[in-house]
A = this chain, B = another copy of it.
Amino acid sequence: MDLVQALLSGHRRALAQALTLVETGGPQARALLGALFAHTGRAHIIGVTGAPGAGKSTLVTALAAHWRRTGRTVGIIAVDPTSPFTRGALLGDRIRMQALSGDPGVFIRSMASRGRLGGIARATGDAVALLDAAGFDLVLIETVGAGQGEVEIAAAAHTTIVIEIPGAGDDIQAIKAGILEIADVLVVNKADRDGAEQTVRQLRAMLSLADLPVDGWTPPVLTAVAMRGEGIEAIATAAERHLAYLRESERLTRREQERAERELRLILQETALERVRAHVAPSDWEALIAQIVARALDPYTAANRLLERVLPQSGG
Contacts and interface: CB of A to CB of B under 8 A. Distances in A.
Interface of A: 30-31, 33-35, 37-38, 40-41, 51-53, 80-86, 88, 114, 117, 119-120, 144, 146-152, 169, 171-172, 174-175, 177-179, 181-182, 253, 256-257, 260-261, 263-265, 267-273, 275-276, 279, 288-290, 292-293, 295, 298-304, 306-307, 309-313, 316
Contacts of A149: 147-149
Main SS class of interface, A = helix
Contact of A82 (B120, B146, B270): B146
Contacts of A53: 169, 171-172
Given A146-B82, A147-B81, A148-B120, A295 B88 contact: no
A268 B273 CA distance: 6
A87 to B, nearest CB: 11
A273 B272 contact: yes
A263 B306 CA distance: 14
A262 to B, nearest CB: 9
B38 A295 contact: yes
Contact of A300 (B260, B267, B298, B316): B267
Nearest to A297: B37
Contacts of A276: 268, 272
Given A52-B146, A82-B148, 7 more contacts: A52-B174, A88-B178, A119-B148, A144-B146, A264-B292, A264-B303, A267-B300
A275 B174 contact: no
Nearest to A301: B34
